Structure 1
Amino acid sequence: MQKYILIIVSALLVTSCKVQKNQATTPISTTKPISNNASFFSAIDKRSSFDAVKINSKIDAKTGSFIPTLDAVIYIENGQKVWMNLTAVILQAARGMATPEGIKGYYKLDKTYIDSDFGYLNKLLNVNFIDYSALQNLLLGKTFIPVSENDYTLTQNISGFNLTSKQNQKITENGKTTEYKISLDYDADFNLSHVLLSNPANNDQLEITYSNREILNNESFPKSVKIIIKTKKTDEILLENTKFDFSRMETTYSVPANYKKTEIK
Structure 2
Amino acid sequence: MDFNESTTLDAVLTSFENAADDRTKQVLQAVTRHLHELVREVRPSMREWEQAIAFLTEVGNRCDDTRQEFVLLSDVLGVSMLIETMNGAPAGTEGTVLGPFHMVDSPARELGDTIDLIGGGTPCVVSGAVTDPSRTPLPGATVDVWQCNEDGFYDVQQPDTQPPGNGRGLFHTDHNGRYWFRTVVPSHYPIPTDGPVGRLLHSAGRHPNRPAHIHFIAHAPGHRSVTTHVFVADSPYVDSDAVFAVKRSLIVDFAESTDAGEAARYGVTAPFRHARFDIHLAPEGDQAP
Instruction: Considering fraction of residues, name the structure with more strand.
Output: 1
Using structure 2 for the length normalisation, give the TM-score. Answer: 0.22
Structure showing greater relative contact order (alpha-carbon pairs closer than 8 Å, 6 or more residues apart): 1
Using structure 1 for the length normalisation, give the TM-score. Answer: 0.24
